[in-house]
Copies of this chain bind each other. A is one copy, B any other.
Amino acid sequence: MTIEDVARAVGVSPSTVSRALQDAPVISAATRRRVARVAARLGYVPNQAARSLVTRTTRTFGLMIPDVTDPVHGQVVTGFEQAAAEAGYTVIMANGFADPQRERRAIALFLAHRADGVALMGSVLPQARVRATVRPAPVVFINGEHVALAGYASDLATGCIRSDDLSGIDALVRHLVEGGRRRIGYAHGRPSASDLTRRDAAARALRRAVPGSRLIEYGGEGWRSESALAGLIARDRPDAVLCYDDKLALRTIAALRTLGVRVPGDIAVAGFDDIPFAALSNPALTTVAQRSEEMGRLAVGMLRSALERAQMPRSITLPVQLVVRESTARRR
Q: Which residues of A contact B (CB under 8 A)?
A: 43, 45-50, 52-53, 58, 60, 67-71, 74-75, 77-78, 81-82, 85, 90-95, 105, 108-109, 111-114, 133, 247, 250-251, 253-254, 257, 276-277, 279-284
Contacts and interface: CB of A to CB of B under 8 A. Distances in A.
A95 B82 contact: yes
Contact of A112 (B46, B78, B133): B46
Contact of A45 (B47, B94, B108): B108
B95 A93 contact: no
Contact of A280 (B111, B251, B276): B251
A250 B280 contact: yes
Contacts of A276: 69, 247
Given A49-B58, A68-B77, A247-B276, 7 more contacts: A45-B111, A48-B114, A49-B113, A68-B78, A71-B71, A253-B282, A277-B280
A198 B208 CA distance: 55
A273 to B, nearest CB: 13
Nearest to A82: B95
A155 B266 CA distance: 53
A37 B193 CA distance: 34
A47 B280 contact: no
Of A43, A74, A280, most B-chain CB atoms within 10 Å: A280
A90 B68 contact: no
Contacts of A60: 92
A46 B70 CA distance: 33
A170 to B, nearest CB: 27
Contact of A93 (B49, B92, B250): B92
Contacts of A49: 48-50, 52-53, 58, 113-114
Given A50-B53, A91-B93, A68 B58 contact: no
A224 B248 CA distance: 32
B90 A92 contact: yes
13 contacts: A45-B108, A45-B112, A67-B78, A69-B71, A69-B74, A74-B74, A90-B109, A92-B92, A92-B93, A251-B280, A254-B282, A254-B284, A277-B277
Contact of A282 (B58, B77, B78, B281): B281
B71 A93 contact: no
Contacts of A78: 67-69, 95
